[in-house]
Amino acid sequence: MRALPTAFARALSRPDRIDAIARDLHRRVDGRYPPPSGVDRTLTAPRAGTVLRLDADGLVDAATRADCMLELVPAIGEPVGRGAPLLRVHGCPERLPGRHLPLLVEIGPAAADPAPAFARLAGIAEDAVRDRDLGSAERAVDRLHEALRRLAARPMPAGRHYDAEGGLRLILRGPTWDGYLRLALDPVIAAGAATPRVAHRLRAALTDLMAAAPSDRRPPLRRRLDALGGRPAYRIPTEIAAALVTGA
């Protein structure tokens, strides 16, 4: 394998040089150590970036037609390198039109992860309860409620996806609705369940989220409402709930 010409290499920026050398390195590794052949195979990422979103229905349809199962290797929201494993194929990969499948996975610049902000707000609420600063605790619960309401009906494709006959066709790792609830609410419930003002605010938030969330996302809300005594609180009026979502 011919090395990069010196003048050309100097003309590249450092990130470009890194990527060019990495592509050459990948070719050398594959040439010296070919990947093993077998029933399963791996489809690689066409570019470097972060896995942002994907067409889960399109991937399930492709896997169903080929009678195989697909597994996303990086979690949604995780970085992936160019040429790195993107989709693992289980079953009959020779039937799968693998060239176009990676195009169903959108890879781009990293989007801001909401998880750290959820954790920070929950931590502030927890500390405020312990300091008996109940006004601040209620305010933090309200802000967590607003953010969770924005998420309540948003697509989160992580999990297992099945075809019309119940066959497993796609496995995706990534953030889940229950995961965000654990991060945002569980520390506050643990700290504030015995504090009437905070418990009431939490029940109000959960009651409203039960109304806003699709049916498959209600069980984890119901479990947390039960942990607070199971008494639904007031439901936020529709016009106020709409303002929470739109920021009006």
Whether 212 is in a domain gets the answer yes
Do residues 63 and 88 lie in contact, with contact meaning Cβ atoms separated by under 8 Å?
A: no
Same domain? For 107 and 215 the reply is no
Same domain? For 27 and 84 the reply is no
pLDDT at residue 125 tops 50: yes
Residue with tokens 């979502």: 245
Same domain? For 29 and 121 the reply is no
Do residues 144 and 121 lie in contact, with contact meaning Cβ atoms separated by under 8 Å?
A: yes
Whether 168 is in a domain gets the answer no
Residue 164 pLDDT class (50, 70, 90 cuts): very high
pLDDT in tens, 193-235: 999 999 999 999 999 999 999 999 999 999 999 999 865 443 4
Same domain? For 124 and 228 the reply is yes
Same domain? For 133 and 189 the reply is yes
Same domain? For 133 and 196 the reply is yes
Whether 166 is in a domain gets the answer no
Same domain? For 63 and 180 the reply is no
Same domain? For 30 and 40 the reply is no
Element (H, E) at 187: helix 186-192
pLDDT in tens, 126-144: 999 999 999 999 999 999 9
Whether 161 is in a domain gets the answer no
The string of DSSP codes covering 46-110 is SS-EEEEEE-HHHHHHHHHHHT-EEEESSPTT-EE-TTSEEEEEES-GGGS-TTTGGGGEEEESP
Whether 85 is in a domain gets the answer yes
Whether 80 is in a domain gets the answer yes
Same domain? For 240 and 126 the reply is yes
45: containing domain: 36-111
pTM metric for this prediction: 0.71
Structural domains in the chain (count): 3
Label residue 45 exposed, middle or buried (CB < 10 Å: 0-12, 13-18, 19+): buried
Provide the pairing of β-strand 69-72 with 168-172.
parallel
Task: Output 97 or 91, whichever has higher pLDDT.
Answer: 91
Same domain? For 11 and 66 the reply is no
pLDDT in tens, 53-79: 999 999 999 999 988 999 999 999 999
Label residue 248 exposed, middle or buried (CB < 10 Å: 0-12, 13-18, 19+): exposed
Same domain? For 107 and 200 the reply is no
Tell me how far apart the alpha carbons of residues 19 and 23 are, in angstroms, rounded to a whole number. 6
CATH assignment of the domain containing 81: 3.90.1170.30
Q: What's residue 112's pLDDT?
A: 84
Do residues 158 and 174 lie in contact, with contact meaning Cβ atoms separated by under 8 Å?
A: yes
Label residue 111 exposed, middle or buried (CB < 10 Å: 0-12, 13-18, 19+): exposed
Do residues 161 and 102 lie in contact, with contact meaning Cβ atoms separated by under 8 Å?
A: no
Whether 169 is in a domain gets the answer no
Task: Report the amino acid identity of residue 51.
Answer: V
Q: What's residue 231's pLDDT?
A: 53
Do residues 207 and 229 lie in contact, with contact meaning Cβ atoms separated by under 8 Å?
A: no
Whether 30 is in a domain gets the answer yes
Same domain? For 192 and 79 the reply is no
